[in-house]
Chains A and B, each alone.
Chain A
Amino acid sequence: GAVVSQHPSRVICKSGTSVKIECRSLDFQATTMFWYRQFPKQSLMLMATSNEGSKATYEQGVEKDKFLINHASLTLSTLTVTSAHPEDSSFYICSAREGGANTEAFFGQGTRLTVV
Protein backbone atom coordinates (compact mmCIF):
# COMPACT_ATOMS: atom_id res chain seq x y z
CA GLY A 1 0.00 0.00 0.00
CA ALA A 2 0.87 3.65 -0.20
CA VAL A 3 3.12 5.17 2.43
CA VAL A 4 2.43 8.15 4.63
CA SER A 5 5.29 9.29 6.79
CA GLN A 6 4.67 11.33 9.90
CA HIS A 7 7.41 13.07 11.83
CA PRO A 8 8.35 13.22 14.62
CA SER A 9 7.04 10.04 16.20
CA ARG A 10 7.52 11.45 19.68
CA VAL A 11 8.08 14.95 20.96
CA ILE A 12 8.29 16.51 24.38
CA CYS A 13 7.97 20.26 24.65
CA LYS A 14 7.62 22.87 27.35
CA SER A 15 4.38 24.69 28.03
CA GLY A 16 4.05 27.80 25.94
CA THR A 17 6.17 26.60 23.05
CA SER A 18 5.00 25.52 19.62
CA VAL A 19 5.44 22.15 17.98
CA LYS A 20 5.23 21.29 14.30
CA ILE A 21 4.23 17.85 13.06
CA GLU A 22 4.80 16.87 9.44
CA CYS A 23 2.79 14.46 7.34
CA ARG A 24 4.16 13.39 3.98
CA SER A 25 2.76 11.14 1.31
CA LEU A 26 5.79 9.37 -0.11
CA ASP A 27 4.50 7.69 -3.24
CA PHE A 28 1.29 9.43 -4.16
CA GLN A 29 -0.16 12.89 -4.38
CA ALA A 30 -2.44 13.57 -1.45
CA THR A 31 -5.18 15.87 -2.57
CA THR A 32 -6.74 15.64 0.85
CA MET A 33 -5.17 15.15 4.25
CA PHE A 34 -6.87 14.65 7.58
CA TRP A 35 -5.63 15.32 11.09
CA TYR A 36 -6.83 13.38 14.09
CA ARG A 37 -6.31 13.40 17.80
CA GLN A 38 -6.58 10.20 19.77
CA PHE A 39 -6.75 9.80 23.52
CA PRO A 40 -5.81 6.47 25.13
CA LYS A 41 -8.27 3.71 24.30
CA GLN A 42 -10.51 6.12 22.46
CA SER A 43 -11.48 6.73 18.89
CA LEU A 44 -9.88 8.88 16.25
CA MET A 45 -11.31 12.36 16.62
CA LEU A 46 -11.19 14.28 13.39
CA MET A 47 -9.67 17.71 13.94
CA ALA A 48 -9.54 19.11 10.45
CA THR A 49 -9.57 18.32 6.76
CA SER A 50 -7.16 20.02 4.43
CA ASN A 51 -7.02 20.19 0.68
CA GLU A 52 -3.85 21.20 -1.08
CA GLY A 53 -3.67 24.93 -1.59
CA SER A 54 -6.79 25.67 0.46
CA LYS A 55 -7.49 26.62 4.02
CA ALA A 56 -8.22 23.71 6.30
CA THR A 57 -11.75 22.97 7.40
CA TYR A 58 -11.82 22.56 11.15
CA GLU A 59 -14.25 20.45 13.13
CA GLN A 60 -16.50 22.12 15.63
CA GLY A 61 -14.67 22.83 18.86
CA VAL A 62 -11.17 22.72 17.36
CA GLU A 63 -9.38 26.05 17.69
CA LYS A 64 -7.90 26.93 14.34
CA ASP A 65 -5.57 29.51 15.85
CA LYS A 66 -4.15 26.92 18.19
CA PHE A 67 -3.87 24.06 15.73
CA LEU A 68 -2.45 25.59 12.57
CA ILE A 69 -2.68 23.38 9.52
CA ASN A 70 -0.85 24.02 6.30
CA HIS A 71 -1.17 21.90 3.17
CA ALA A 72 1.18 23.70 0.87
CA SER A 73 1.91 20.87 -1.52
CA LEU A 74 0.39 17.62 -2.71
CA THR A 75 2.78 15.64 -0.57
CA LEU A 76 3.08 17.62 2.65
CA SER A 77 0.77 18.85 5.36
CA THR A 78 1.84 20.25 8.70
CA LEU A 79 0.07 20.63 12.00
CA THR A 80 1.50 23.22 14.39
CA VAL A 81 0.35 23.16 17.98
CA THR A 82 0.87 26.71 19.18
CA SER A 83 1.39 27.79 22.77
CA ALA A 84 1.16 24.19 23.89
CA HIS A 85 -0.38 23.31 27.25
CA PRO A 86 -0.24 20.00 29.10
CA GLU A 87 -3.83 19.27 28.08
CA ASP A 88 -2.66 19.27 24.47
CA SER A 89 -0.68 16.14 25.22
CA SER A 90 -2.08 13.42 23.01
CA PHE A 91 -1.50 11.13 20.04
CA TYR A 92 -1.88 13.01 16.77
CA ILE A 93 -2.32 11.08 13.52
CA CYS A 94 -2.60 12.22 9.95
CA SER A 95 -4.08 10.41 7.01
CA ALA A 96 -3.98 11.14 3.32
CA ARG A 97 -5.78 10.05 0.22
CA GLU A 98 -5.20 10.65 -3.42
CA GLY A 99 -8.73 10.69 -4.67
CA GLY A 100 -12.24 11.23 -3.46
CA ALA A 101 -14.48 9.36 -1.06
CA ASN A 102 -14.26 6.16 -3.07
CA THR A 103 -10.53 5.78 -2.46
CA GLU A 104 -8.75 4.46 0.56
CA ALA A 105 -6.89 6.69 2.96
CA PHE A 106 -3.53 5.86 4.46
CA PHE A 107 -2.40 6.81 7.93
CA GLY A 108 0.88 8.10 9.20
CA GLN A 109 2.57 6.46 12.15
CA GLY A 110 1.30 9.08 14.58
CA THR A 111 3.04 11.55 16.87
CA ARG A 112 2.99 11.26 20.63
CA LEU A 113 3.07 14.80 21.99
CA THR A 114 3.87 15.40 25.64
CA VAL A 115 3.73 18.93 26.97
CA VAL A 116 5.49 19.45 30.29
Chain B
Amino acid sequence: QQPVQSPQAVILREGEDAVINCSSSKALYSVHWYRQKHGEAPVFLMILLKGGEQKGHDKISASFNEKKQQSSLYLTASQLSYSGTYFCGSNNDMRFGAGTRLTVKP
Protein backbone atom coordinates (compact mmCIF):
# COMPACT_ATOMS: atom_id res chain seq x y z
CA GLN B 1 0.00 0.00 0.00
CA GLN B 2 1.47 3.30 -1.03
CA PRO B 3 1.84 6.33 1.25
CA VAL B 4 -0.59 9.23 1.01
CA GLN B 5 0.82 12.65 0.23
CA SER B 6 -0.60 16.11 0.72
CA PRO B 7 -1.04 18.63 -0.68
CA GLN B 8 -1.26 17.53 -4.31
CA ALA B 9 0.14 20.81 -5.50
CA VAL B 10 1.46 24.03 -4.07
CA ILE B 11 2.54 27.30 -5.63
CA LEU B 12 5.00 29.52 -3.81
CA ARG B 13 6.76 32.80 -4.31
CA GLU B 14 10.51 32.71 -4.05
CA GLY B 15 11.51 32.89 -0.40
CA GLU B 16 8.32 31.37 0.98
CA ASP B 17 8.15 28.15 2.98
CA ALA B 18 6.28 24.93 2.28
CA VAL B 19 5.50 21.68 4.06
CA ILE B 20 4.71 18.41 2.30
CA ASN B 21 3.17 15.62 4.31
CA CYS B 22 3.36 11.87 3.85
CA SER B 23 1.34 9.38 5.85
CA SER B 24 0.86 5.66 6.01
CA SER B 25 -1.78 3.48 7.59
CA LYS B 26 0.93 1.24 8.98
CA ALA B 27 4.39 1.86 10.38
CA LEU B 28 7.08 2.22 7.75
CA TYR B 29 10.48 0.65 8.05
CA SER B 30 11.93 3.85 6.64
CA VAL B 31 10.79 6.76 4.53
CA HIS B 32 12.61 8.41 1.67
CA TRP B 33 12.07 11.59 -0.25
CA TYR B 34 12.81 12.31 -3.89
CA ARG B 35 12.38 15.27 -6.19
CA GLN B 36 11.65 14.86 -9.88
CA LYS B 37 11.88 17.61 -12.44
CA HIS B 38 9.88 17.36 -15.63
CA GLY B 39 11.26 14.75 -18.00
CA GLU B 40 14.03 13.74 -15.62
CA ALA B 41 14.69 10.92 -13.20
CA PRO B 42 13.84 11.34 -9.52
CA VAL B 43 16.73 12.58 -7.39
CA PHE B 44 17.28 11.33 -3.88
CA LEU B 45 16.84 13.95 -1.14
CA MET B 46 17.02 12.03 2.11
CA ILE B 47 16.06 8.92 3.99
CA LEU B 48 14.79 8.69 7.56
CA LEU B 49 15.07 5.49 9.46
CA LYS B 50 14.17 6.13 13.07
CA GLY B 51 10.99 7.28 14.75
CA GLY B 52 11.41 10.85 15.92
CA GLU B 53 14.26 11.47 13.51
CA GLN B 54 14.83 14.83 11.92
CA LYS B 55 17.43 15.61 9.34
CA GLY B 56 18.15 18.09 6.64
CA HIS B 57 20.63 19.88 4.48
CA ASP B 58 20.66 23.43 3.26
CA LYS B 59 17.08 24.64 3.56
CA ILE B 60 15.37 21.30 3.03
CA SER B 61 14.69 19.13 6.03
CA ALA B 62 12.40 16.29 7.02
CA SER B 63 10.96 14.63 10.07
CA PHE B 64 9.67 11.15 10.83
CA ASN B 65 7.20 10.81 13.68
CA GLU B 66 7.63 8.47 16.63
CA LYS B 67 5.16 5.92 15.31
CA LYS B 68 6.89 5.96 11.91
CA GLN B 69 3.61 6.53 10.14
CA GLN B 70 4.00 10.14 9.19
CA SER B 71 6.79 12.16 7.63
CA SER B 72 7.00 15.78 6.60
CA LEU B 73 9.34 17.56 4.23
CA TYR B 74 10.09 21.19 5.02
CA LEU B 75 11.30 23.63 2.39
CA THR B 76 12.29 27.00 3.77
CA ALA B 77 13.08 30.18 1.87
CA SER B 78 12.23 28.39 -1.34
CA GLN B 79 14.30 28.91 -4.44
CA LEU B 80 13.29 28.61 -8.08
CA SER B 81 15.33 25.41 -8.27
CA TYR B 82 13.04 23.76 -5.74
CA SER B 83 10.30 23.46 -8.35
CA GLY B 84 9.42 19.89 -9.22
CA THR B 85 7.37 16.99 -8.01
CA TYR B 86 8.23 15.60 -4.61
CA PHE B 87 7.62 11.98 -3.80
CA CYS B 88 7.77 10.22 -0.49
CA GLY B 89 8.17 6.49 -0.42
CA SER B 90 8.40 3.49 1.77
CA ASN B 91 11.92 2.27 1.41
CA ASN B 92 11.24 -1.35 2.19
CA ASP B 93 8.90 -1.90 -0.74
CA MET B 94 9.84 1.14 -2.84
CA ARG B 95 6.28 2.29 -3.39
CA PHE B 96 5.72 6.01 -3.68
CA GLY B 97 2.99 8.46 -2.87
CA ALA B 98 1.12 10.26 -5.62
CA GLY B 99 3.52 13.18 -5.47
CA THR B 100 3.29 16.88 -4.65
CA ARG B 101 3.85 19.30 -7.48
CA LEU B 102 5.72 22.32 -6.16
CA THR B 103 6.03 25.45 -8.26
CA VAL B 104 8.20 28.33 -7.10
CA LYS B 105 7.63 31.60 -8.90
CA PRO B 106 9.86 34.69 -8.92
Binding site for B on A (CB under 8 A): 1, 6, 34, 41-44, 46, 49, 93, 95, 101-110
Contacts and interface: CB of A to CB of B under 8 A. Distances in A.
Q: State the majority secondary structure of interface residues on B.
A: loop
B94 A105 contact: yes
Contacts of B41: 6, 93, 107-110
B91 A46 contact: no
A43 to B, nearest CB: 5
A104 B87 contact: no
B97 A43 contact: yes
Q: In this complex, which of A34, A101, A103, A110 has the most chain B Cβ atoms within 10 angstroms of its Cβ? A: A101
Interface residues of B, number: 23
Interface string B22-34: 0000000110101
B87 A43 contact: yes
